Structure 1
Amino acid sequence: MGDRNQIIFLQKFVPSVAGSILEIGSKDYGSTSSFRQFYPDCPYVGIDMEAGAGVDQVIDLAKGIGDLPEDHFALIVCCSVLEHVEKPWKMAENITRLMAKGGTLFISVPWVWRYHAYPDDYFRFSFRGVVSLFPDLEWATPHYSTTVEGEFVEITEDNKQADNAMAVTATTPKGAQRKYLPYLMVNMIGIRR
């Protein structure tokens, strides 16, 4: 399940898929939208850590891949999940195992976000952090997204401080100046070598 900007990003950068799709964190909580509807002609498997609407299989990828086939999925979607994983490096290894050679990973993770437990909240990720978790992938240009629908900022070699450029300064009640970053997600497309 994803927010509106995650859906916009996926539709723009992966408009079609030839093969099976795996969505990690597919449980419908009523406040997000499904990716499933955008690929109606593809075999689609939604997994989550607990059963519910949108969940085809209950699997915790930080512990293993269950009965999912290795080297199989043409697209894996993992949005707003990795921050909830106690050992994301283990989950990253299992995600890579599930990707077909030449397969695509769409990952969206928080860089600046409030604490939000499901079942807990452990990490925030820079784009470099994501790259380090998935060494077998080639990455396209990452983008920040905000809570404003359709607002994306490309992260390039010349623009590594894009997050800082979006900060605002405000005066605190005691008269001090405080810098605030907006909520930011890092959105990335990786291809398995």
Structure 2
Amino acid sequence: MGDNNQLYYLRRHVPRARGPVLEIGSKDYGSTVDFRSVYRDQPYVGLDLADGRNVDVVHDLTQGTGPLPLDHFDLAICCSVLEHVDRPWEFARHVSRVVRPGGRLYMSVPWVWRFHAYPDDYFRFSWRGIEKLFPDFDWSERYYSTNVDDEFISIDEFRDADNRMALLHEVDGGARKHLPYLMVNMLGTRRHEAPAAG
């Protein structure tokens, strides 16, 4: 489950799937938007660590792929999840194994955000960090989104966009720089020639 900007991103950049869809972190907490309705015409699996509304499979992807078939999903959606994963390199390896060659991965992660433990909060990720965690994917459609509805800034066009949006606040001894809340949104396509690391 995600927020409005993540839903806008999906509708613009991945309006259709050509096969099964996996949503990682699918549990509906009552304050999130529904991605499942975008892909009604495809088989859809909602995966989460805990059972609940919109959860089809309960599994921890740091522990392996579990019941998920390998090289299967045409689209995997992972929004606001990776910062809560204590071993993101293991998680990334297993996510990569379940996306089929030519399949896509929509990743949305906080770059600048407050601490928020669900159940805990470990990391912040740059777009370069995501590329390193998922080396079997070619990445495109890189955008920052803010907490403002439908506000997206191209990372490829404005490489220092996060810094250019900073605000300065005068304090004793100088000016304190404040970066806005920013999410990194990226679309990866798994390369055909690169089998996902086992």
Q: Is the 8 A contact 2:13 2:141 kept in 1?
A: no
SS at match of 1:38: helix
Residue segments in structure 2 that go unaligned for 5+ positions in a row: 192-198
Cα distance between partner residues in 1 of 2:111 and 2:14? 22
Query: Is the aligned partner of 1:66 residue 2:91?
Result: no
Partner of 2:160 in structure 1? 161
Deviation per CA, 1:17-63: give whole Å up to 9, x if none.
11000000000011111100011111000010000111011011011
Q: TM-score, normalised by structure 1?
A: 0.97
Partner of 1:101 in structure 2? 101
Cα distance between partner residues in 1 of 2:173 and 2:151? 31
Partner of 1:171 in structure 2? 170
Q: Is the 8 A contact 2:83 2:124 kept in 1?
A: yes
SS at match of 2:132: helix
Partner of 1:184 in structure 2? 182
SS at match of 1:37: helix
Cα distance between partner residues in 2 of 1:29 and 1:96? 26
Amino acid at match of 1:182: P
Amino acid at match of 2:185: N
SS at match of 1:141: strand
SS at match of 1:119: coil
Give the paired residue count: 191
Stretches of 4+ moved more than 4 A in 1?
none
Q: CA deviation at 1:177?
A: 1.5
Query: Is the aligned partner of 1:28 residue 2:28?
Result: yes
Q: CA deviation at 1:141?
A: 3.3
Q: CA deviation at 1:130?
A: 0.2
SS at match of 1:89: helix
Residue pairs, 1:1-193, within 5 angstroms:
1-156=1-156, 159-172=158-171, 174=172, 176-193=174-191
Cα distance between partner residues in 1 of 2:52 and 2:141? 34
Cα distance between partner residues in 1 of 2:102 and 2:141? 17
Cα distance between partner residues in 2 of 1:73 and 1:190? 13
Amino acid at match of 1:118: Y
Cα distance between partner residues in 1 of 2:149 and 2:47? 26
SS at match of 2:122: coil
Residue segments in structure 1 that go unaligned for 5+ positions in a row: none
